[in-house]
Amino acid sequence: MSNLNNIKRGPIMLALIIGLFVAALNETLMGNALPELMKSFDVSAATAQWLSTAFMLVVGVLVPVTAILQQWFTTRKIFLSAMGLFFVGTLIAAVSPTFSVLLIGRIIQAIGTGMLLPLVMNVIMTIFPPEKRGGAMGTLGLVVMFAPAIGPTVSGLIVDGLSWRWLFYLVTPFALLSVIIGAAVLKNVSEVTKPRVDFLSIVLSTIGFGGIVYGFSSAGERGWSEPAVIWTIAAGGVALLLFVWRQLILKQPVMDLRAFKYPTFALVAVLLFMLMMTFFSSAIMLPMFMQGVLLVTAFKSGLILLPGGIINGFMAPVSGKLFDKFGPRVLVVPGLVIAVISLWQFTRFDETTSTGFLVTIHIALMIGIALVMMPAQTAGLNQLPNHLHPHGTAILNTLQQVSGAIGTALYISIMSSRQKQYLSDASDPQAPAEIVKGLASGINNAFWFGVIIALVALVFGLFIHKGKSPEQEQAAG
């Protein structure tokens, strides 16, 4: 392991940030391009949706295993493998002659992304002292929030003016640049202990997280009464319970759930799970509202969401610096209050909503999320002892993927059931005006669910404080 006192943090951060930027951008490039891909490959919406669902599924399955990977392989090997796989997957997707080959390219990209996300957070927790982690995590937040925010706009622009293949051509040079910089500057910053690998845990984790992500993702599309949905979620739930039990009895667990013994971390994990349900779901519901109710184009809907995304990105480093100075509660509580008020405003949207009002409320929501996300994560991880950092980052990243799938499915099912109810009561359910009002009513109902979730998160946020790790407490003593 390199001497951390002599390590050059700047070049390492640059390599990590470029890699993370292309991986995060790639997650949201697909949304606006799905209609174009359906035409190109002559596939249905249900088939095309697998380009997003499979990506989320693979990342959700892989992230829990990253804690053990980081104990078996050097930081440098994992990063170069992750970005190398991402680069290969992007090339395959760019030149794919059939839909099946495109899907294989996306799955290879997802393997790289799943390895990368927890690694980047763990490296930052390792190379920066506790008093500087807020600023570093804020810089990371700038990338994590900014890249997905510009994704729909960039995607709309490319699909309108060029071939969909340019979505992948655009990403390829950045992925290659990240590999080159990583190979030149990245040092190993974690301890390689090579613990015994419990393969039963990996199988249970894969079935558990995979079953739940797949089940909830399918429920949003097929409905909750489908036997395949019910059995997949049930199998995932049982496997997850067995996985948790197994981790608690193993001396060297794959994902050390003893991290939940630290109260600030446990609180943060629950809070972020609820917040990310809202974040992912609003990212899907708002374009549906704009394109289905306000009847704007995919590119314009991307442009409307762009100011909020940009402000959210630039707020992340600011909230990181403020965290270093004032601690988490000063940021998290006001951030959650802003999120609750914004989501309440979303419940009032209809076909008369102006673009300016929508932009303003979306900006407010993004500011609220920026004040909560990185400060809460940093506070939770700061309380863990050093040996639990890889496990803590794996837990938080896994929960984010799972919460995204669960939140999206719940929002879409609430929206669909209310929409059907509205149209069944309408005098002329086929009338375009009634269809628009039915969709608006369904989306309003879904956002009421978001308000309730955000209020519960606010209650949890009131109990967050700046925890210290055992090492920090020992040093202070």
d(CA 247, CA 270): 19
Say yes or no: domain 259-465 is CATH 3.40.190.10.
no
What pLDDT score was predicted for residue 25?
Answer: 79
Domain ranges of the chain: 1-193, 198-253, 259-465
List the chain residues with pLDDT less than 50: 1-2
pLDDT for the residue numbered 30? 72
Question: Which position has the token pair 């914004």?
Answer: 342
What does the pLDDT read at residue 342? 93
Report the distance separating Cα 218 and Cα 228, nearest Å. 9
Please tell me the predicted confidence (pLDDT) of residue 250.
Answer: 82
pLDDT of residue 2: 45
Enter the CATH code of domain 1-193: 1.20.1250.20
The residue among 58, 59, 55 whose CA lies nearest residue 29 is: 55
Q: Residue 327: which of 359, 388, 375 has the closest Cα?
A: 375
Helix (H) or strand (E) holding 222: helix 199-222
Model pLDDT, residue 1: 45
E strand or H helix at 114: helix 99-127
Is-same-fold flag (1-193; 259-465)? yes
Q: Which two tokens stand for residue 305?
A: 């969401």
Burial of residue 161 (CB within 10 Å: 0-12, 13-18, 19+) is: exposed
Give pLDDT, residue 137: 72
Distances (CA, A) of 97 to 40, 51, 94, 329, 373: 10, 15, 9, 52, 40
pLDDT tens-digit series, residues 57-73: 787 777 777 777 777 77
State pLDDT tens for residues 314-366. Answer: 787 788 778 878 878 888 899 999 999 999 998 888 888 888 999 999 999 98
Report DSSP state, residue 256: -
**DSSP per-residue string spanning 357-404:** HHHHHHHHHHHHHHHHHHHHHHHHHHTS-GGGHHHHHHHHHHHHHHHH
pLDDT score for 468: 62
Q: What's the Cα-to-Cα distance from 184 to each of 11, 178, 390, rounded to whole Å?
A: 9, 10, 24
Can you give the pTM of this predicted structure?
Answer: 0.75
33 DSSP assignment: G
SS3 content of the chain, % helix, strand, coil (to 5): 80, 0, 20
| CA–CA distances in Å: residue 382 to residues 4, 304, 392, 473 | 18, 36, 10, 11
DSSP state string for 313-362:
HHHHHHHHHHHHHH-SHHHHHHHHHHHHHHHHHHTT--TT--HHHHHHHH
Residue type at 406? Answer: I
Neighbouring residues of 185: CB distance < 8 A, sequence distance ≥ 6: 8, 11, 12, 14, 15
